[in-house]
Structure 1
Amino acid sequence: MKNTHLNENKKYNHLLLENKVCVIVGGASLRSIGYATAELFAAHGAKLVLLDLVMNAEIANEVGTAIASQIGHKPDIIYLQCDIRNTSDCDKVIEKAVAHFGTIDCLVNCAGIVKSEGMLSITDEGYDLIMDVNLKGTFNICKSALKIFTEKQAGVIVNLSSLSAQRGGGLVGGSHYAASKGGVISLTRSIAREFAPMNIRANVICPAMIETSMLDGLSEKQLNDVISGIPLKRVGKTIELAGTCLFLASDLSGFITGATIDVNGGIHIH
């Protein structure tokens, strides 16, 4: 059989997301995975829709200025406030994104909250908040994006789960956090299976110990104890997680769907 794979790609281009419209949830903090992903995607030619519960004009200016300083030009971004716990909010921001850019091509959901506490200390309100943001919120924004993806018969979803979902907690976050992130894995696999015939891919990333505000609650001793158990002997950088998002969002991963990708420095080799 003749090898034609080189001809199937019209060209090789270092801009992996040139003119792709990518929705990124959770990018208001410059220390966040969402921000690092936005910066890297912009560097690769993407047009961006940045969603966050706390998004406002001041944060938008800060994020846009930071990205511009890194990539050397003003990024093509719209900034929208969104509470992903609310289905109407999710539908409205996706509609605004389509109205502005004409379509959306990719959704990367980096939003999430964490709280470390023993199971017997978790209140009904605490449980509901974690599940509503991490799992219900992921469901809501995926559903809103899928309405567009099914119409165009194409699209990519990248969801962030956690190592806690794979090993039953043990690092940061209580049992409600681990359960919510376990649900994100199952949800993503379900989306991948249901929507693959429509040329829609969905994959999930399980990070561990990334340099974000989620580590702020750990003492130096606690952090060092965790690092001692990581084969690479360090925590991960947000740009390293963003690189995985870039791979999964781009055509380089065109035959990957329903996958769970570990970004954990080797702490959970399984």
Structure 2
Amino acid sequence: MPTQDQTENQFALTAVVTGGAAPRGIGQATAHRYAQEGWAVAILDLDEAAAKERAAEISAETGAPAIGLQCNVTDPASVTGAAEAVKNSDLPPVGALAAIAGVASPVDFLDLTLDEFNRVIAVNLTGTFLTCQAFLPQMIENGYGRIVTTSSVTAQHGGGVFSKTSYAAAKAGILGLTRGVAREFAHYGITANSIAPGVVDTDIRVGSTPDREEQLSASVPLGRQASPDEVAALYVWLSSKDAGYITGTTQSINGGSYVS
């Protein structure tokens, strides 16, 4: 079902997806899902070649206008430059931002260095702040805005999945950031919501093992990991007109592993 009112206006708005280039990630699944449901897509990723490759795949498979751009979400100049590049491209106006770029960290608290803590905060939390700040003016100008950020079940119960305290802190910060944005920009009709996935079948858990992945799946009441496309569907729906009265929320998608 189209997520915009696009029966006659397909590809009338652009969805920006950060961290959208990894072949087995939530970001690439979300970028594809946006395109399938009538959005143009801008993929921002640290890996420029992969971002362009994903964009070309999306265009070929769906007919949607799509571009891939290099962007380091921890660097204000890089984020600002990417936002300007999207604005000055041939894509339609920006209507949604899916802030998905992130890194995991399974380091135990007493082994956590300040450099590692800062790295995790920078990519997950600061990157979300910078991309929201860069694209909000375009949404205000365009008269339509949906921000969907990426938290984690780890933030909700303080770890216990794969990543530990630094990741929990960063993802908890995203919840507060999202609620603040929702409150500040509601009078523009712009919504901001956060998604808190549980265990998803992606490659973010660098260093995990088959036994560990099996244990993670077994820990979920539904008995399996989510597919990236299941999570992607929620990003796209929260970007729709149908979701226009939902803002400042945390949407859990975790197979029952955390029940609030």
Q: Write the letter of the residue equivalent to 1:204.
A: S
> Superposed, which structure 2 residues align to 1:115-134 within 5 Å?
115-134=105-124
Task: Name the TM-score, length of structure 1 as normaliser.
Answer: 0.89
> In the aligned structure 1, how far is the partner of 2:72 from the partner of 2:222?
36
2:94 corresponds in structure 1 to 104
Note the C-alpha offset of 1:230: 1.1
> In the aligned structure 1, how far is the partner of 2:197 from the partner of 2:180?
20
> In the aligned structure 2, how far is the partner of 1:231 from the partner of 1:17?
39
> In the aligned structure 2, how far is the partner of 1:12 from the partner of 1:21?
13
| Conserved 8 A contact 1:19-1:47 | yes
2:58 corresponds in structure 1 to 67
* Candidates 214, 235, 243, aligned match of 2:225: 235
The DSSP-based 3-state class of the residue aligned with 2:138 is helix
> In the aligned structure 2, how far is the partner of 1:16 from the partner of 1:264?
34
Note the C-alpha offset of 1:102: 5.2
Task: Name the TM-score, length of structure 2 as normaliser.
Answer: 0.92
Note the C-alpha offset of 1:140: 0.4
Ranges in structure 1 where 5+ consecutive residues have no aligned partner: 1-10
After superposition, what is the alpha-carbon deviation per residue over 1:209-238, rounded to whole angstroms, capped at 9, x for unaligned? 111102453223322222222111100000
After superposition, what is the alpha-carbon deviation per residue over 1:158-189, rounded to whole angstroms, capped at 9, x for unaligned? 00111000000111112111100000011001
> In the aligned structure 2, how far is the partner of 1:54 from the partner of 1:95?
18
Q: Write the letter of the residue equivalent to 1:53.
A: L
1:88 corresponds in structure 2 to 77
| Conserved 8 A contact 2:26-2:229 | yes
Note the C-alpha offset of 1:104: 1.0
> In the aligned structure 2, how far is the partner of 1:69 from the partner of 1:269?
40
Distance 1:136-1:16 versus aligned 2 partners, 3 A rule: farther
Distance 1:198-1:61 versus aligned 2 partners, 3 A rule: closer
Note the C-alpha offset of 1:262: 0.6
> Superposed, which structure 2 residues align to 1:94-243 within 5 Å?
94-100=83-89, 101=91, 103-243=93-233
Note if 1:266 corresponds to 2:259.
Answer: no
Note if 1:27 corresponds to 2:16.
Answer: no
Note the C-alpha offset of 1:17: 6.8
- Could you say which structure has the larger radius of gyration? 1
Distance 1:175-1:202 versus aligned 2 partners, 3 A rule: same
> In the aligned structure 2, how far is the partner of 1:104 from the partner of 1:135?
22
Note the C-alpha offset of 1:68: 4.8
Comparing 190-199 with 144-153, greater Cα deviation is found at 144-153
After superposition, what is the alpha-carbon deviation per residue over 1:115-166, rounded to whole angstroms, capped at 9, x for unaligned? 1011011111111111111111110010011122233443110001110000
RMSD: 2.0
Comparing 38-47 with 62-71, greater Cα deviation is found at 62-71
> In the aligned structure 2, how far is the partner of 1:12 from the partner of 1:29?
30
Distance 1:47-1:233 versus aligned 2 partners, 3 A rule: same
After superposition, what is the alpha-carbon deviation per residue over 1:65-121, rounded to whole angstroms, capped at 9, x for unaligned? 5435643x4x31111101111112111111111111352111101100011011011
Identity of aligned residues (%): 32
